[in-house]
């Protein structure tokens, strides 16, 4: 079982950048795809980005594509989410998660059930 701890959230203004990090413990990190989800107040948790086990495939929800970049370091057991051009709609609690599979195809309809381990979340607030 992989344990996940997110960090890097904060209060920023529209147009600013943030880098979220997720530290993972456990032997299966390097063989698992990793993802980021977010949950805004009063809304369901939604998929943001995923990276496959090797880092060769990355997929994003449409609204963050071109602004967010997911990356991983399989030596340090970390996965990161670089967020640029932040807007108020990006506000929410961001969660790191371990996927049940090592890789996915493009346009896969990611859901929470595709992930098995979750961190406690880190808050991102974007003001106008």
Task: Give 58-91 pLDDT, tens digit per residue.
Answer: 999 999 999 999 999 999 999 999 999 999 999 9
Confidence band for 1, pLDDT divided at 50, 70 and 90: confident
Length of the chain: 128
pLDDT at residue 51, rounded to an integer: 98
Contacting residues for 58 by C-beta, under 8 A, at least 6 apart: 49, 50, 51, 52, 69, 70
Residue pLDDT, tens place only, 32-45: 999 999 999 999 99
From the CB of residue 57, how many other CB atoms can be counted at a distance below 10 Å?
15
Region at 28 (left for phi over 0; alpha for psi -120 to 50; beta for the rest)? alpha
The pLDDT value recorded for residue 11 is 98
The sign of the CA dihedral 101, 107, 108, 111 is positive
pLDDT score recorded for residue 78: 97
- pLDDT of res. 28: 85
Kindly report the average pLDDT of the chain as a whole number: 96
Q: Which residues of 27-45 are buried (b: 16+ CB within 10 A; e: fewer)?
A: eebeebbbbbbbeeeeeeb
List of residues 6+ apart from 56 with CB closer than 8 A = none
How many separate helices (H) and strands (E) can be counted in the chain? 0, 11
The predicted pLDDT at position 52 comes to 97
How far apart, in whole angstroms, are the C-alpha atoms of residue 18 and residue 16? 7
Tokens 């098995």 sit on residue: 116
């Amino acid at each position: 079982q992989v344990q996940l701890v997110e960090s890097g959230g904060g209060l920023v203004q529209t147009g600013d950048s943030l880098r979220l990090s997720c530290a993972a413990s456990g032997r299966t990190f390097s063989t698992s795809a990793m993802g980021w989800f977010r949950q805004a107040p009063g809304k369901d948790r939604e998929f943001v980005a995923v990276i496959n086990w090797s880092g060769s495939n990355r997929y994003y929800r449409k609204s963050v594509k071109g602004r967010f970049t997911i990356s991983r370091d399989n030596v340090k057991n970390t996965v990161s989410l670089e967020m640029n051009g932040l807007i108020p709609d990006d506000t929410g609690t961001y969660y790191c998660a371990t996927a049940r599979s090592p890789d996915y195809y493009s346009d896969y309809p990611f859901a929470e059930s595709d992930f098995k381990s979750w961190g406690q979340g880190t808050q991102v607030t974007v003001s106008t």
